[in-house]
Amino acid sequence: MPESMTPEAAGADPAEVLRRVFGHPGFRGLQAEVVRHVVAGGSGLVLMPTGGGKSLCYQVPALCRPGLAVVVSPLIALMEDQVAALRQQGVAAAALHSELPEEAGREVRRDLARGALKLLYVSPERLTLEATLARLEERPLALFAVDEAHCVSQWGHHFRPEYRGLAVLAERFPGVPRLALTATADPRTVEDIRAQLGLRDAPVFRGSFDRPNILIAAAPREQERAQLRAFIRRAADGSGAGIVYCATRARTEQTAQWLRAEGHDALAFHAGMDAAAKREAHRRFARGDAVVMAATVAFGMGIDRPDVRWVAHLDLPRSPESWYQEIGRAGRDGLPARALLLYGAGDIALARHRIAESPAPEEQKRIERQRLEAMVAIAEAATCRRRILLRCFGEEPGPEAPDPERCGRCDVCLNPPRLWDGTVAAQKLLSAVLRTGRRFGLGHVVDVLRGRHTDKVIQHGHDRLPTFGVGTELPDAGWRSVARQLVARGALDVAVEGHGELVPTEAARPILRGEAPVMLREDTLAAAPGRKAAKAATPGMAGDALFEALRAWRRQEAAAQGVPAYVIFQNDTLAEIAARRPRGLGELAQLPGIGRSKLDRYGEAVLRVVAAGGG
Ligand code: ADP
Ligand code: ZN
């Protein structure tokens, strides 16, 4: 069998492959179950959050089963990084896509024909070409893996028409296991994937969506840049990357420019850029050290970098699913990471108006409305934010949770907001809006409440209103907070197509009549909880001399090979090495993330760096 040309003989034990090839001591969560199922020839659908460890679910079976494993992936950058990482681990992997230079493409086809490949990454459009399918029919196949399988669903925001063609796999290769993988757990998308990929009778493996290493926080957007600056200062560790999600293309450019002025290596990314510019941005993000990307949600799939330390949103995401997928790009290496959401009343109103006016069918609008309101509830949470978020994924705290209502890893748990009775304040604000004729934005309404004789107040005679000056007990920011929370609970609307006029809704009536008490949250301006972690002292943390020396060695090695640094070793592996200071290859081999191939390639060099002690 030509397959014996690759080092991983078929029939190998999965746990042994995991240890020997990938250097991991054990499977995580559902991995073991999925791997057992696929190795035995079963098909299925895997739902795990970003960073949950989906890749190993097909990579290990690929090495345990005879034949070639074909992995469908929607993004070239993603394919290439995966292939680079696998080759580092001594696995015969290659990618086939439209941007491969002709000579390289010929070489891949040659390797394929002589059975020298174990894993082939391929774009859906390439795979579904008749020529490719015919070529694959001549080969023994281990499995098909369809990564980012939600691209098959028209319901999501990532629909890729080419994915629809994958239905052919079930027809042409009925005996080959098909494993679909996605981080989107929304029931409609799940049903779509099962229908499209012929997985109706196959099991669904649903992992926990909790990502406890990501500390989550949200705050009203008051001074965006000061808030972002403070957040980055807490979250960045000097080496890992960061992402700032912005609602518009213009905002990505402005934010990237500002970040550069702040001294960051910052780039912008949005769908309007041409393919080459996008690829270059992806490349710089994957290869760079502490890169910051200011991006629209177009920057998403294909971010494989495990050491993204933080993700910030400058605008309200449209659903908890999108938000979670975006912040899930942080901390894939399992080390502490942070997410911050900034939002304003205008975002909420704008998103509601967009849905109301969209030409979409009523059923879809209803779903979008539900998602948006769930997102608003998370932003305005007065109880554990993670709890509310996970409930959106149908996940309840397990019996082992120390306190089911407090995760201890979100801003609300760490720094519970004080609630205050805002009934009177809400009434004052609503009546100032009504008395000024629902024709003014918040700035003017606050001027009236605070009793300011501005030109506009005098011009309209608003200093003669009974509500003039009745609101001196709160500062401007306090009134903005009251207004935002009234918008969030649907008692106030903002005329986003007009000039931002405030308009009370039906839900304002019971408040004005004193029939609905209004409990409000006291906003803290702090962008995120927790003090900056002490650095420099802990072995294996940024600042530790040996850790830094190992990183410098890795940077050189990565540059010499033209691959991202993390495919050489991930930060957690370097941290372990720095903490344990192994003295020989035997000790080094025991550390997580060091498989046989990496031990052979880098063992001696790493031991030399350790012996030099980073001094
Ligand atoms: P996903 O594709 O689900 O977003 P990945 O497959 O990229 O996640 O895995 C996320 C990170 O977790 C990677 O850095 C990977 O090396 C690590 N990882 C996955 N499974 C294990 C395991 N069993 N032991 C140790 N690390 C793991
Ligand atoms: Zn919490």
Ligand 1: centre distance to CA 52 (Å): 6
Q: What band does 188 get if pLDDT is binned at 50, 70 and 90? A: confident
Q: Closest ligand 1 atom to the C-alpha of 26?
A: 23
Tell me the mean pLDDT in the region 84-110.
Answer: 93
Q: What is the pLDDT of residues 474-495, one digit of tens each?
A: 999 899 999 999 998 889 998 8
- Mean pLDDT calculated for residue range 386-408: 79
Question: Going by CA atoms, what residue is nearest to atom 24 of ligand 1?
Answer: 24
pLDDT score at 3: 37
Q: Which atom of ligand 1 is nearest to the CA of 54?
A: 3
CA distance 303 to 134: 32
Degrees to nearest 5, angle at CA 209 with 591 and 316: 120
Q: Give the distance (Å) from ligand 1 centre to CA of residue 182.
A: 14
Q: What is the pLDDT of residue 209?
A: 86
Using most ligand atoms within 8 A of CB, pick from 21, 332, 568, 598 the residue to mutate for ligand 1. 332
| Distance from residue 57's CA to the centre of ligand 1 (Å) | 10
For residue 85, which ligand has an atom nearest its CA? 1
Q: Is the CB of 27 under 6 A from ligand 1?
A: yes
Test site for ligand 1: of 24, 60, 570, most ligand atoms within 8 A of the Cβ:
24
Q: Which CATH number fits domain 545-612: 1.10.150.80, 1.10.3210.10, 1.10.357.10, 1.10.3720.10?
A: 1.10.150.80
Whether the pLDDT of residue 530 is over 50: the answer is no
Top-tier CATH class for 214-241+305-414: alpha beta
Residue type, 168: V
Is it the case that residue 586 has pLDDT exceeding 80? yes
Q: Is 315 in the pocket of ligand 1 (CB under 6 A)?
A: no
Q: Assess whether pLDDT exceeds 50 at residue 526.
A: no
- How far, in Å, from the CA of 333 to the mean position of ligand 1? 7
**For residue 210, how far is its CA from the centre of ligand 1 (angstroms)?**
14
Task: For 596, list phi and psi in degrees, rounded to 5.
Answer: -60, -45
CA dist 240 and 337 (Å) reads 10
Ligand nearest to the CA of 147: 1
- Residue by residue, DSSP assigns 416-434 as PPPEEE-HHHHHHHHHHHH
19-72, pLDDT tens digit by residue? 999 999 999 989 999 999 999 999 999 999 887 899 999 999 999 999 999 999
pLDDT on residue 534: 35
pLDDT band at 559 (very low <50, low <70, confident <90, very high): confident
Laid out side by side, the sheet with 291-295 consists of 214-220, 337-343, 308-313, 241-245, 291-295, 265-269
* Res 1: pLDDT: 35
Kindly report the protein residue whose alpha carbon is nearest to atom 9 of ligand 1: 53
Q: Which helix (H) or strand (E) holds 439?
A: none
d(CA 109, CA 115): 10
Strand partners, 120: 70, 94
Hey, what CATH class is 10-206 in?
A: alpha beta
Q: Is the CB of 51 under 6 A from ligand 1?
A: yes
Question: What spacing in Å lies between the alpha carbon of 383 and ligand 2's midpoint?
Answer: 7
Ligand 2 ion: nearby residues, β-carbon < 5 Å: 384, 386, 407, 410, 413
Number of other CB atoms surrounding residue 257 within 10 Å: 13
Same fold, 10-206 and 214-241+305-414: yes
The answer to whether 245 and 296 have CB atoms below 8 angstroms apart is yes
Residue nearest to atom 5 of ligand 1 (CA): 53
Nearest residue (CA) to ligand 1, atom 25: 24
304, pLDDT greater than 80: no
**Tens-place pLDDT, residues 150-162:** 999 877 667 888 8
CA atoms within 13 A on the CB side of 256: 21
HSE toward the beta carbon, residue 315, CA cutoff 13 A: 19
Q: Could you write out the DSSP letters of every residue in 71-135?
A: EE-S-HHHHHHHHHHHHHTT--EEEE-TTS-HHHHHHHHHHHHTT--SEEEE-HHHHTSHHHHHH
Q: Distance from CA of residue 493 to its chain's centroid?
A: 30
* pLDDT exceeds 80 at position 6: no
Domain ranges within the chain, ordered by starting residue: 10-206, 214-241+305-414, 420-521, 545-612
What is the residue-averaged pLDDT of the chain? 89
pTM of the model: 0.75
Q: Does domain 420-521 have CATH number 1.10.10.10?
A: yes
* Cα 318 to averaged position of ligand 1 atoms, centre (Å): 27
Q: Which atom of ligand 1 has the smallest separation from the CA of 56?
A: 6
**Average pLDDT value for residue range 467-471:** 95
Give the pLDDT confidence score for residue 300 in this predicted structure.
Answer: 81
The predicted model gives 501-516 an average pLDDT of 93
